[in-house]
Amino acid sequence: MIVIGSQAMKYWFPDFNREPKDLDIVVDDFTPQYMSEDGRRVERLRNPILLKYCEGFEDNYAVPDTLLTLKMSHLFWDIAWDKHMWDVQFLFKHGAKCDKKLFYELYE
């Protein structure tokens, strides 16, 4: 299990401007969404490509370079585009770098 999304952004960057509304986690099996103890929705996303790149991550949080790469891969879809672009710019400003190999696998 790897934590992604705004919860991971907040973990690495306390100055991240959004409070997480849900918890996004990448898992190797598909199980339905559920509510956490604090009432937030937990979205379980099956993504074997991302899991392959996240093995051994500290505290099970996707690192900034992986978060940036994932956010960049979202820009090709019309899903919360402005939010993802803001996050990409935030991560660039905080020194994150794109993992090109992961990007092309996610894009494909």
Is 46 in contact with 29 (CB distance < 8 Å)? yes
What pLDDT, in 10s, does the model give residues 20-33? Answer: 888 888 887 766 55
At residue 30, the pLDDT reads 64
Report the C-alpha gap between 99 and 19 in whole angstroms: 26
Higher pLDDT, 12 or 48: 12
What pLDDT, in 10s, does the model give residues 50-107? Answer: 888 876 666 789 999 999 999 999 888 888 888 889 999 999 999 999 999 999 998 8
Q: Letter for the amino acid at 37?
A: E
Is 44 in contact with 30 (CB distance < 8 Å)? yes
- Extents of the domains making up the chain: 2-107
